[in-house]
Chains A and B, each alone.
Chain A
Amino acid sequence: MTDSKYFTTTKKGEIFELKAELNSDKKEKKKEAVKKVIASMTVGKDVSALFPDVVNCMQTDNLELKKLVYLYLMNYAKSQPDMAIMAVNTFVKDCEDPNPLIRALAVRTMGCIRVDKITEYLCEPLRKCLKDEDPYVRKTAAVCVAKLHDINAQLVEDQGFLDTLKDLISDSNPMVVANAVAALSEIAESHPSSNLLDLNPQSINKLLTALNECTEWGQIFILDCLANYTPKDDREAQSICERVTPRLSHANSAVVLSAVKVLMKFMEMLSKDLDYYGTLLKKLAPPLVTLLSAEPELQYVALRNINLIVQKRPEVLKHEMKVFFVKYNDPIYVKLEKLDIMIRLASQANIAQVLAELKEYATEVDVDFVRKAVRAIGRCAIKVEQSAERCVSTLLDLIQTKVNYVVQEAIVVIKDIFRKYPNKYESVIATLCENLDSLDEPEARAAMIWIVGEYAERIDNADELLESFLEGFHDESTQVQLQLLTAIVKLFLKKPTETQELVQQVLSLATQDSDNPDLRDRGYIYWRLLSTDPVAAKEVVLAEKPLISEETDLIEPTLLDELICYIGTLASVYHKPPSAFVEGGRGVVHKSLPPRTASSESTESPETAPAGAPPGEQLDAVPTQGDLLGDLLNLDLGPPVSGPPLAASAVQMGAVDLLGGGLDSLIGAPSFVAPPAAAVPANLGAPMGSGLSDLFDLTSGVGTLSGSYVAPKAVWLPAMKAKGLEISGTFTRQAGTISMDLQLTNKALQVMTDFAIQFNRNSFGLAPAAPLQVHAPLSPTQTVEISLPLSTAGSVMKTEPLNSLQVAVKNNIDVFYFSTLYPLHILFVEDGKMDRQMFLATWKDIPNENEAQFQIRDCPLNAEAVSSRLQSSNIFTVARRNVEGQDMLYQSLKLTNGIWVLAELRIQPGNPSFTLSLKCRAPEVSQHVYQAYETILKN
Chain B
Amino acid sequence: MIHSLFLINCSGDIFLEKHWKSVVSQSVCDYFFEAQEKAADVENVPPVISTPHHYLISIYRDKLFFVSVIQTEVPPLFVIEFLHRVADTFQDYFGECSEAAIKDNVVIVYELLEEMLDNGFPLATESNILKELIKPPTILRSVVNSITGSSNVGDTLPTGQLSNIPWRRAGVKYTNNEAYFDVVEEIDAIIDKSGSTVFAEIQGVIDACIKLSGMPDLSLSFMNPRLLDDVSFHPCIRFKRWESERVLSFIPPDGNFRLISYRVSSQNLVAIPVYVKHSISFKENSSCGRFDITIGPKQNMGKTIEGITVTVHMPKVVLNMNLTPTQGSYTFDPVTKVQSPKIRSEQVFLQSSFCDLGTWEDRGKGLISWLKLKLLTT
Binding site for B on A (CB under 8 A): 1-4, 6-7, 27-28, 31, 35, 38-39, 42-44, 62-65, 67-68, 71, 75, 78, 99-101, 104, 108, 111-112, 114, 134-136, 139-140, 143-144, 146-147, 150, 173-175, 179, 182-183, 186, 189, 213, 215-217, 220, 224, 246, 249-254, 256-258, 286-287, 289-290, 293, 295-298, 300-302, 322-323, 325, 327-329, 331-333, 353, 356-357, 360, 363-365, 401-404, 568-571, 573-574, 578, 581-583, 587
Contact B161 A136 (CB under 8 A): yes
Sampled A-B contacts (20; CB under 8 Å): A1-B142, A1-B146, A6-B106, A65-B151, A68-B111, A75-B19, A104-B157, A136-B157, A147-B119, A215-B125, A215-B235, A249-B239, A256-B232, A257-B77, A287-B232, A356-B198, A365-B366, A402-B364, A581-B50, A582-B73
B149 CB within 8 Å of chain A: yes
Nearest residue (CB) in B for A7 is: B103
User: How distant is the Cα of A370 from the Cα of B243 in the complex, in angstroms?
Assistant: 44
**Given A6-B106, A7-B103, A301-B47, is A293 in contact with B234 using a C-beta cutoff of 8 Å?**
no
- B81 in complex: contacting residue of A140, A252, A583, CB < 8 Å: A252
Give every chain A residue within 8 A of B203 (Cβ-Cβ).
293
CB within 8 Å of A: which B232-271 residues: 232-235, 239-240, 242-243, 258, 261, 263, 265
B131 CB within 8 Å of chain A: no
Contact B201 A323 (CB under 8 A): yes
Known pairs A3-B106, A293-B263 / 14 extra A-B pairs, C-beta < 8 Å: A42-B106, A63-B151, A71-B110, A78-B23, A143-B119, A144-B119, A186-B72, A216-B125, A289-B230, A297-B58, A302-B77, A332-B39, A401-B365, A403-B363
Nearest residue (CB) in A for B57 is: A297
Report the stretch among B10-18, B173-181, B209-217, B326-334 that lies at the interface: B10-18
User: How distant is the Cα of A114 from the Cα of B23 in the complex, in angstroms?
Assistant: 10
Contact A179 B121 (CB under 8 A): yes
Contact A258 B366 (CB under 8 A): no
A36 CB → nearest B CB, Å: 9
For the complex, count residues of B whose C-beta is within 8 A of A: 104
B300 CB within 8 Å of chain A: no
Nearest residue (CB) in A for B108 is: A3
Contact B47 A333 (CB under 8 A): yes
Report the stretch among B302-310, B313-321, B341-349 that lies at the interface: B313-321
Contact A101 B151 (CB under 8 A): no
- A571 in complex: contacting residue of B41, B73, B151, CB < 8 Å: B73
- B263 in complex: contacting residue of A38, A224, A289, A328, CB < 8 Å: A289
A70 CB → nearest B CB, Å: 8
B34 CB within 8 Å of chain A: no
- B230 in complex: contacting residue of A68, A175, A254, A286, CB < 8 Å: A286
Q: Binary interface profile of B, 67-83, with partner A (CB < 8 Å = 1, else 0)?
A: 00001111111101110
**Given A2-B104, A64-B153, A295-B84, is A290 in contact with B313 using a C-beta cutoff of 8 Å?**
no
A404 CB → nearest B CB, Å: 7
B226 CB within 8 Å of chain A: no
The 9 closest A-B pairs by CB, nearest first: A328-B370, A286-B230, A64-B151, A2-B104, A297-B47, A254-B77, A64-B153, A217-B122, A254-B78
Contact B153 A67 (CB under 8 A): yes
User: How distant is the Cα of A64 from the Cα of B123 in the complex, in angstroms?
Assistant: 18
User: How distant is the Cα of A144 from the Cα of B362 in the complex, in angstroms?
Assistant: 62
Give every chain B residue within 8 A of A174 (Cβ-Cβ).
164
Binding site for A on B (CB under 8 A): 1, 14-23, 26, 39, 41, 43-44, 46-48, 50, 53, 55, 57-60, 71-78, 80-82, 84, 100, 103-111, 114, 118-119, 121-123, 125-126, 142, 146, 149, 151-157, 161-162, 164, 166, 188, 190, 192, 198-199, 201, 203, 229-235, 239-240, 242-243, 258, 261, 263, 265, 313, 315-317, 362-366, 368, 370, 372
Contact B233 A328 (CB under 8 A): no
Give every chain B residue within 8 A of A38 (Cβ-Cβ).
106-107, 110
User: How distant is the Cα of A323 from the Cα of B121 in the complex, in angstroms?
Assistant: 33
Contact A301 B15 (CB under 8 A): no
Nearest residue (CB) in A for B126 is: A215
- B156 in complex: contacting residue of A6, A99, A216, A217, CB < 8 Å: A99
Nearest residue (CB) in A for B105 is: A3
Contact A251 B235 (CB under 8 A): yes
- A583 in complex: contacting residue of B47, B71, B146, B230, CB < 8 Å: B71
Nearest residue (CB) in A for B317 is: A365
